[in-house]
Amino acid sequence: MHVRPAEQKDLEILSQICMASFDSALADTLPAAGRDTFKAIAAPAAIAARLAEDNQVLVAENAGKPVGMLELKAGRHIAMLFVTPAQQHQGVGKALINAAFELATEQSVTVSASLPSVGAYQKYGFELAGEIAESGGLVYQPMEASLP
């Protein structure tokens, strides 16, 4: 497995990874507004726009093929973490989290975790950091990990 910065040529496949993972684990748990919000956020043009700002997007590759992505906002907030469903539970997410921790510019990293992903983030060292909230139909649990 190899983790590298995303490039413009990756945008379509990264969007597909996000949508495949979202559709298999989250879509059915959210109202239509949440599904629509996520589709807009995961669109290639939206990822490109954030990549042009201060966000860092990482790609996890297995045998040269993208299988996961992570978006780190402002060096301190994980905005997106998605792994292709067939590659989940194989260390892809952990590799991406470790890479994000290395890039972090603060002593702690936050995430607004979807409710089904809270357990995974806890395994990565995150702790609950507030009450469950909602934005644009997306329901999330604020979490935070302190870095050594």
φ, ψ of residue 132 in degrees (nearest 5): -60, 135
Looking up residue 98, the CATH number of its domain turns out to be 3.40.630.30
Averaged pLDDT score across all residues of the chain: 94
Rounded CA-CA distance 117/70 in Å is: 14
- Count of structural domains within the chain: 1
Paired tokens of 8: 């413009």
> What is the domain range of residue 29?
2-146
User: How many Cα atoms occupy the beta-carbon half-sphere of 50 within 13 Å?
Assistant: 23
**Confidence band, pLDDT 50/70/90 cuts, at residue 67:** very high
Q: Tens digit of pLDDT for each residue in 15-56?
A: 999 999 999 988 888 888 999 999 999 999 999 999 998 899
| Helix or strand holding residue 95 (H, E) | helix 92-103
φ, ψ of residue 16 in degrees (nearest 5): -65, -40
22 with 124: CB under 8 angstroms? no
Q: What is the pTM of this model?
A: 0.92
Kindly tell me the burial class for residue 20, based on how many C-beta atoms sit within 10 Å of its own C-beta (0-12, 13-18, 19 or more).
Answer: middle
Rounded CA-CA distance 86/22 in Å is: 13
SS3 call for 30: coil
Q: Quick one: pLDDT at residue 130?
A: 95
Q: Quick one: pLDDT at residue 90?
A: 93
